[in-house]
Amino acid sequence: MKFAVAALAGSAAAFMGPAQKVSMAPLKAATLEVAPATSEALQTAANEARGLAMDSIAAAESGHLGLPLGAAEMGAVLYGQSMNYNPDEPKWINRDRFVLSAGHGSMFLYSWLHLAGFDLSKDEVANFRQHHSMTPGHPEFPNSEHVTPGIEATTGPLGAGVSNCAGLAAASKMSAAIFNTDDHTIFDNHIFCIVGDGCLQEGVSAEAACFSAHEKLDNLIVLYDANDVTLDKMAEFTQSEDVGARYEAYGWDVITLLDGHDLKALYEATEEAKSNNNGKPTLIICKTEIGRGIDEVAGTNAAHGEAGVAYVDGARKALGLPEEKWFVSDDTYKFFADRKATLKAGYEAWEATYDAWKGANPDLAKTLQDGIDGVTPSVAELFAAIPESKGGDQATRVSGSEIINNIADAVPLYISGSADLHGSNKNYIKGGGDFGADFGKSYSGRNVYYGIREHAMGCILNGFAYYGLFRPSGATFLVFADYMRATVRIAALAELPVSYIWTHDSIGVGEDGPTHQPVETVTGLRAFPNLDVIRPADYEETAGAYVASIDKKDGPTALILSRQNLQEIVEVPASVRREGTLKGAYTLVEEKGDLECIIIATGSEVQHAYNAAKELGDGVRVVSMPCMERFDRQDAAYKESVLPAACRKRVAMEAGVTTMWYKYVGLDGKVIGVDRFGFSAPGDIVMEELGMTAKNCAAEVKAYMG
């Protein structure tokens, strides 16, 4: 074992026998002595954690044995020595966070949470992967479906968890910069993560690693379970790069442990990483044996999944475990009870500091408590903070540039950011400062520059939300939301209050051509459960959209904003348009006679429906529907008042694909849309040629009504 950036010769098969013993170069910090009794207790705990994983996966006949067995010593060191946490207060704001990025190895996490004293019973551990259990197949952040204390992130897609950690580490730095004072330090935590080859092969982890190094997130410590195995084959079949050299080139500290099962070496490496306040995140490469303990499959790709289940009885016996399944010794429980008492004493000392800080900083304390509790101003207060429109045509991205600053003034922990498009997205918080380490930036800055890294931006936004204090938003062009889809899905699943500001929303983008003109993207986003997709028609609806994004605390919101100017419909009171947006849809133009036809439109097409109605007689109603999802959540009486069932003559209009609109117009209704890609030309020409005009709307409605 040594500090180096050298690869271990040979494959994981080299670890089929006893772990290699080599000398370690001197640590920068003083070498840490570990009592033999502690090492023995931790090794026993590691083997018992292996037993819990084997028993649960065998009982479920489903799961992944390789990582829980191969990384058991990492768990012993993290939960038994290096991490600062309080199992009785799993949401303590200054806790160290641990994320299992290789989430398929979830039994690793459940075993250690149980042993460490979190409220996760042995029965729940044994109920692995079963309906309504607290131990689902992959770790899930506490939400309305699963509440498992100690889970810091939903880690399904590989690479997402370690990329979330960049956001968690950034949020930790931001918290310290905002709330720590010269007299009191209340934030000084670290972010720990375990990754596998799959996480590091996914490109998003590289994006996040670059961001982490550039912004000098030295509170981030990643342990790489380098077992030389992927699911299909040995890792050498699909990778040949020197991972350590790659991370050094990014700007990380890299520590290589040639025996990733050596408890003393793991402890020294993690403590070294914690003590290095040098502006560099740390990657600890731990050369391990996948499936360690089941000799028949250990060190091979067969160990990744369930192949070892057939051999668990013999493996348990070889590890010295009794026949009793889900066995944990009294000594292990006592070790972690003592550990818990030590951690609790540290927590109580922190509480004393926190109380003194609150007394000295009442305004900061209120801001912090509001962040912890998720408290934001009421809808009425937020609307009062946003001036009404002065009139005149305006792109909704320009409207948003004004409104986001009103929101930022009202919500102190609201942050913004962009994937290199602040000038186009127009989502900069004026006077908020820029987040980061260099170039005049500060960790208290509210504007995050992500670079051209949309996928990582989505993960980092989730990380900020997981941290539990901030209301993050991030921006790019709508067409690039496809780079973020995996992260949006997890935000919706984990019920994270993230806001996406996606501009340049349609074929109205114009000259950039079809590569930059989204026609299918909005409909694709509407397919996500628990994502509110809001496409406002003008300034006042944009105000409503921003307020809605703050009001929604159990999931993400997408704000879909235009590049081109849109008509401000000043004839309809601002309050009607704002409050109607909160409800998802509302009657913009009431029919003056018997209701004959309803035109439903959204975003930039509302102006066309509004103007077309002037030519269509007294029996036409115009409904603005900025958000299908919010409208669908309204009660039946409200929905009937907007879209009365008795009126079957319905036309919908949107500059995008038509499929989803038939749920509102019916199969006998008509949708004026764009079921093709656009073309390069000025935006108004593209819109006109593809039928997105008031003139065409009126003609189509007349033809439909006969």
| pLDDT tens profile 429-480 | 999 999 999 999 999 999 999 999 999 999 999 999 999 999 999 999 999 9
Q: How far apart are CA 349 and CA 186, in angstroms?
A: 11
Mean per-residue pLDDT, 200-229: 97
pLDDT classification of 237: cutoffs 50, 70, 90: confident
Share of the chain above pLDDT 90, in %: 90
The three-state DSSP-derived secondary structure of 548-572 is HHHHCCCCCEEEECCCCCECCCCCC
Indicate the pLDDT class of residue 298, thresholds 50, 70 and 90. Answer: confident
In this structure, the strands spanning 253-257 and 282-287 are parallel
How many CB atoms within 10 Å of residue 609?
29
Catalytic residue from among 207, 268, 454, 541: 454
State the chain's mean pLDDT as an integer.
94
Average pLDDT of 405-417? Answer: 98
β-strand partners of 472: 415
Q: So what's the pLDDT on residue 16?
A: 30
Query: Is pLDDT at 15 greater than 80 in this prediction?
Result: no
pLDDT surpasses 50 at 167: yes
Q: Rounded to whole angstroms, how far apart are CA atoms 640 and 572?
A: 21
In the chain, % helix, strand, coil (3-state, to 5) comes to: 45, 10, 45
**Residue 233: per-residue pLDDT:** 76
The answer for 440, left when phi > 0, alpha when psi is -120 to 50, beta otherwise, is left
Any idea how long the chain is? 706
Give the per-residue pLDDT at 33. 67
Contact 434, 427 (CB under 8 A): no
Q: Which two tokens stand for residue 497?
A: 């209050």
- Between β-strands 220-226 and 650-653, what pairing exists: parallel, antiparallel or unpaired? unpaired
Which whole-number Å values give the CA distances from 398 to 127, 366, 434, in the listed order? 52, 32, 21
187 CB neighbour count, 10 Å cutoff: 19
Cβ atoms of 247 and 162 closer than 8 Å: no
Instruction: Determine the Cα–Cα distance for residues 433 and 543; give it in Å rounded to an integer.
Output: 23
- Find, among 434, 565, 445, 563, the residue nearest to 504 by Cα: 563
Read off the DSSP letter of residue 229: B
* Neighbour count for residue 666 (Cβ, 10 Å): 11
Instruction: Give the pair of three-digit tokens for residue 429.
Output: 């918080």
Report the Cα 505 to chain-centroid distance in Å.
23
Question: How far from chain centre, in Å, is Cα 199?
Answer: 15
Structure tokens at 447: 């504007």
Look up residue 233 and give its two tokens.
């084959």
- pLDDT band per the 50, 70, 90 thresholds, residue 232: confident
In whole angstroms, give the CA distance from residue 150 to residue 120. Answer: 9
Lowest mean pLDDT among 187-191, 229-233, 289-293, 678-682: 229-233
End-to-end CA distance of the chain: 82
- C-beta atoms surrounding 68 within 10 Å: 30
Average pLDDT over residues 90-118: 98
Determine contact, residues 661/628, Cβ cutoff 8 Å.
no
Alpha-carbon distance values, 78 to 271, 277, 378, 466, 500 (Å)? 10, 19, 41, 20, 35
383 three-class SS: helix
Looking at the predicted structure, is the pLDDT value of residue 30 above 60?
A: no
Three-state DSSP class for residue 134 = coil
Q: Smallest Cα–Cα separation from 432: which of 441, 421, 423?
A: 441
Pairing of strands 557-560, 499-503: parallel
Over residues 499-524, mean pLDDT:
97
Q: Are the C-beta atoms of 274 and 169 separated by less than 8 Å?
A: no
How far apart are alpha carbons 207 and 195 in whole angstroms?
15
| CB-side neighbour CA atoms (13 Å) of 598 | 24
562, 505 contact by CB (below 8 A): yes
* Nearest to 297, CA basis, from 103, 112, 69: 69
Distance CA 387, CA 574 (A): 10
pLDDT tens by residue, 322-371: 999 999 999 999 999 999 999 999 999 999 999 999 999 999 999 999 99
How distant, in Å, are the alpha carbons of 179, 180, 374, 458 from that of 175? 6, 8, 15, 20
The backbone torsions φ and ψ at residue 81, rounded to the nearest 5 degrees and listed phi first, read -140, -55
CB atoms within 10 A of CB 381: 11
Place of tokens 């040629």: 689
454 classed as catalytic: yes
Q: Residue 7: what pLDDT?
A: 32
Tokens for 528, please give them: 């996500």
Q: Given pLDDT bands bounded at 50, 70 and 90, which one contains residue 25? A: very low
**pLDDT number for residue 17:** 30
C-alpha 697/C-alpha 171 separation (Å) is 48
What span, in angstroms and rounded, lies between the C-alpha atoms of 461 and 101? 16
Amino acid present at 201 = Q
Q: For 340-353, what is each residue's pLDDT tens digit?
A: 999 999 999 999 99
- If we measure between CA atoms, which residue out of 285, 345, 292 comes closest to residue 315? 292
d(CA 250, CA 242): 13
Residue type at position 684: D
| Spatial separation of the C-alpha atoms in residues 680 and 511, rounded to whole Å | 5
pLDDT band at residue 306 under the 50/70/90 scheme: confident
CB 641 within 8 A of CB 623: no
Question: What confidence tier does 12 reach under pLDDT thresholds 50, 70, 90?
Answer: very low
* Burial 33-50, CB ≥16 within 10 A → b, else e: eeeeebeebbebbbbbbb
Copy the structure tokens of residue 178: 């905002």
- Using DSSP's 3-state secondary structure scheme, residue 542 falls into helix
Hey, what are 555's tokens?
A: 């999931």
Between the CA atoms of 544, 546, 547 and 548, what dihedral angle is there, to the nearest 10 degrees? 80
pLDDT class of 32 with cuts at 50, 70, 90: low
Distances (CA, A) of 610 to 448, 590, 601, 661: 38, 11, 9, 18
pLDDT of residue 115: 98
- Of the pLDDT bands very low, low, confident and very high (cuts 50, 70, 90), residue 231 is confident
Predicted structure pTM score: 0.94
pLDDT on residue 23:
29
Average pLDDT estimate for 682-692? 97
pLDDT 10s digits, 175-184? 999 999 999 9
* Section 19-40 average pLDDT: 53
Average pLDDT over residues 197-203: 96
Residue 43 CA, distance from chain mean position: 34
Q: Is the CB of residue 170 less than 8 Å from the CB of residue 163?
A: no
